[in-house]
Amino acid sequence: MNRCIFCDIINRESPAEIIYEDEFSIAFMDINPVTPGHLLIVPKKHFRVFTDMDEVSAGELFSAALKVSRAVRRSELKPEGLNLFLAEESAGMQEIFHCHLHIIPRYSGDGFGLKIKYSDETKNQLKINAEKIRKIL
Ligand SMILES: [Zn+2]
């Protein structure tokens, strides 16, 4: 496996502004913040993508995300809101292939956004697409 920057941070082989850590997860400031307080929650075990995670690790990751999100909301940064963003694979905008969850504090007019193109064709396929997912669960 190639060297992983997030594993290096977990192992203290690369510097990071760590703000929280428990047995399963670590949280540190994003080195390229889109808004003040932008941080990442990362499982300590290396999972390439979210859907590779086991349920315990995923639950612990979101539990840590809740704890850290509350701290961000109550902090002097005083965000007006938050976005949680998880990218999977290049098509989903994942750039570092060690699963991670972004916590992005939001402020009116901060300029962060997603480009959304609604599709009538996709809307017309709701039942068909729901069944494609339902039959796997
Ligand atoms: Zn890693």
Query: Rounded to 5, what percent of the chain is helix, strand, coil?
Result: 35, 20, 50
Q: How far is the CA of 24 from the centre of ligand 1 (A)?
A: 13
Is-catalytic flag, 100? yes
| H or E stretch covering 124 | none
CA of residue 49 relative to chain centroid, distance = 11
Q: Where are the alpha helices (DSSP H) in the chain?
A: 5-10, 55-74, 120-123, 126-134
Q: What is the pLDDT of residue 2?
A: 76
CA of residue 125 relative to chain centroid, distance = 28
Q: What is the pLDDT of residue 1?
A: 58
Residue 112 gets which letter from DSSP?
A: -
Q: Extract the tokens encoding 97.
A: 């292939």
Question: What is the rounded CA–CA span in Å between residue 73 and residue 37?
Answer: 10
Secondary structure (3-state) at 71? helix
The parts of the chain modelled with pLDDT lower than 70 are 1
Dihedral pair phi/psi, residue 128, rounded to 5°: -65, -45
Q: How far is the CA of 96 from the centre of ligand 1 (A)?
A: 9
Could you say which of 38, 46, 98, 100 is catalytic?
Answer: 100
Q: Extract the tokens encoding 42.
A: 């990362």
Classify 5-134 by CATH class: alpha beta
Dihedral pair phi/psi, residue 26, rounded to 5°: -140, 145
Q: What is the pLDDT of residue 123?
A: 84
